[in-house]
Amino acid sequence: MGQASSVHGVWSKRWTFVLAATGSAVGLGNIWKFPYIAGENGGGAFVLVYLFCIAAIGIPIMMGEVLLGRMGRQSPVNTMLSLAKTVNASCSWVLVGVSGVLAGFFILSFYSVIAGWALAYVVKAVSGSFVDVSAQQIGQEFDALLHSPSTLLFWHSLFMLMTCTVIAKGINRGLQATVYILMPLLFALMLVMLGYSMTSGNFEAGAAFLFNFDPSKLSGEALLVAMGHAFFTLSLGMGAIMVYGAYMPANESIGKMVVAVGFLDTAVALAAGLVIFPIVFANQLDPGAGPGLMFVTLPIAFGQMPAGSVFATVFFVLVVFAAWSSSISLLEPAVAWLVEHRGLSRLSAAMFSGVACWLLGLGTVISFNVASEWTLWDKTFFDLLDFLASNVMLPLGGLAMAVFVAWILPLDRVREQLQDFSEGLLALMIFILKYVAPALVLAVFARSIGVL
């Protein structure tokens, strides 16, 4: 069967998919979340399990998601519907696409608020707010930010505007042009920060913490955390990778492209650890400080270091770039569907979905302050949305995509997309998608809802 063509266009250059998908994967999960969960779970042993899970779960499921996208050449919703019809499967599979689009939409609504914190911290760093101030003062600054609805609203609005501006310009002038600028800058800024950490921090202690293997520090909980983060860091199950796969030229190798994305995503996560932990150890701070590691602990360290304001600025600009490259992939599936299903222009679709996402984000804005006492099942609006999208919709979406590729699609259709795979490699991938990945994803899901 010949390749369908996308109404949205295709990436014009070979490595655009790699840059775009890496941009989707490299976000707050790598630079904010990975270092602190590695810190909380013992460092090196946790990292080893995480790397194994990237290879055993993440990359095969990502290949499956890209494969579906390139076969369907549409938004995740219409891709799943058309593929299900093509192979005479139930049209209920469209719900996988719907869930992915909604998950990305939900995540962006609160992701934009958190990315707004990073924007605010760029301004704080430039103005020298961290210089020679106490840990208590920095903690109070962060609390003041969270407790000001108007401040959070301003930064949330600015970040959503940045995201919609890129999306509205389309595949080539918007997404592609942006990742060509953002990703090289992101890698360059990461190298600058890595050099700074090597010369100004306790690099030996940081590297030892990140890479020394001590199995005694691994708990069953840590194994599941590593597995879950490996899955989520690659942006799987939310339709972003599927829609980026829809724009991949027909003659490109899915296997090589996805392995490159997995490598770059992992390299950035490890580099973030090598940036953060040496600075933390050099200042006798706690590597297991949790979510506050980036917004409270690091500013304390930057404030005490030579040229700290300069490097704090570089670091938070890096965080903003990483969040921005991810946010455009979170909104793209919804915009693609509006263009296909409602016949809207890119500009109208971007404005409509962006405003809707912005409105939903208001719930997250007030959940840190005026509505912090309003809870359901002991969760604030932000906690509930995060739990529903990250712990329920993403793992089940990724699981369903793996099942569809391995159990529903005819093998010859899969082989058609993976022509450079040997029979042995193809059989291994199908085995992983049929049995290994579903079992591991179900374990993560069971843990996330409190069964394990």
Q: Are the C-beta atoms of residues 143 and 362 closer than 8 Å to each other?
A: no
* Interatomic CA distance for residues 16 and 9, integer angstroms: 13
- Biggest CA-to-CA distance, the chain: 67
Instruction: Return the bridge partners of 376, or none.
Output: 379
Tens-digit pLDDT profile for residues 67-94: 999 999 999 999 999 999 999 999 999 9
Tens-digit pLDDT profile for residues 347-406: 999 999 999 999 999 999 999 999 999 998 889 999 999 888 887 888 889 899 999 999
* Interatomic CA distance for residues 243 and 329, integer angstroms: 8
Question: What pTM was estimated for this model as a whole?
Answer: 0.91
Q: Are the C-beta atoms of residues 189 and 319 closer than 8 Å to each other?
A: no
Tens-digit pLDDT profile for residues 234-253: 888 889 999 999 999 888 99
Domains, the chain, ordered by start? 16-448 (1.20.1740)
* Interatomic CA distance for residues 190 and 37, integer angstroms: 20
* Interatomic CA distance for residues 179 and 182, integer angstroms: 5
Tokens of 272: 């973030």
